[in-house]
């Protein structure tokens, strides 16, 4: 009976591992498809921290990690933002000449007021920029960044609901061009290693996106 139980345990283990491998392959396929299309472009939103307009020109001169989410997200958004902030902290310790800025873009303007976003981001990185705007302006930015989001129709700010959205954060280069996207399957160590590599490549003269023009 012990042999049977051991065999059953191994069967369950390998089945779970197979599922994990398949999930990772599916995620990597998504990553590759993102890389094949143009990501990024013109947008204009509100920086909740200073009340100023924020657009694509504000990405120039520094690396940016951009995450699209909402403040009432129960678990995934906090986990991904924690991961992103950990990467930013470690990159800052590397003391690259070109800085990196973390950015949170709300996909729930119905409830995410500037005050709500400011309060929400206090739990994360002190340098994180919070962006919001009208539904149409957010939709426009999401379109150029290939971000999917969907909210139930006819909602009130007091309603309790979830926003279905893409779970990626995006690395943009100091020239405003897309570098890479990181999905939920990537650990903070994996993301840090990749971002560090890209920033070193930039320091050594590589200009992302320009070699394809």
Spatial distance between the Cα atoms of 162 and 66, rounded to a whole number of angstroms: 20
Contact 50, 131 (CB under 8 A): no
| Residues 80 and 149: beta-carbon distance below 8 Å | no
User: Does the annotation list 73 as a binding residue?
Assistant: yes
DSSP assignment of 11-74, as one string? HHHHHHHHHHHHHHHHHHHHHHHHHHS------EEEETTTS-EEEGGGGTTSEEEEEEE-TT--
Instruction: Report how far apart the first and last C-alpha atoms of the chain are (Å, whole number).
Output: 65
> What DSSP state is assigned to residue 162?
-
Nearest to 103 by CA among 48, 147, 33, 61: 48
- Distances in whole angstroms, Cα of residue 158 to Cα of each of 110, 111, 139, 147, 162: 9, 8, 22, 25, 12
CA–CA gap between residue 196 and residue 114 (Å, rounded):
32
List the binding residues for Cu cation. 73, 77, 165
List the binding residues. 73, 77, 165
């Amino acid at each position: 009976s012990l042999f049977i139980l051991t065999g059953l345990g191994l069967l369950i283990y390998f089945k779970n591992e197979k599922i994990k491998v398949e999930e990772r392959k599916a995620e990597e396929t998504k990553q590759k498809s993102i890389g094949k299309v143009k990501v990024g472009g013109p947008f204009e939103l509100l920086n909740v921290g200073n009340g100023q307009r924020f657009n694509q020109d504000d990405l120039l001169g520094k690396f940016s990690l951009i995450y699209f989410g909402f403040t009432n997200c129960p678990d995934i958004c906090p986990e991904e933002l924690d991961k992103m902030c950990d990467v930013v902290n470690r990159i800052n310790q590397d003391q690259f000449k070109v800085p990196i800025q973390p950015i949170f873009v709300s996909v729930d303007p119905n409830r995410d007021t500037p005050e709500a976003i400011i309060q929400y981001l206090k739990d994360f990185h002190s340098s994180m920029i919070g962006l919001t705007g009208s539904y149409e302006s957010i939709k426009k930015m999401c379109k150029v960044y290939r971000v999917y989001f969907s909210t139930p129709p006819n909602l009130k700010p007091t309603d309790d609901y979830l926003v279905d959205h893409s779970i990626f954060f995006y690395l943009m280069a100091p020239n405003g061009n897309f570098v890479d996207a990181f999905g939920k399957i990537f650990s903070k160590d994996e993301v840090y290693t990749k971002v560090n590599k890209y920033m070193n490549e930039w320091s050594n003269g590589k200009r992302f996106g320009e070699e394809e023009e």
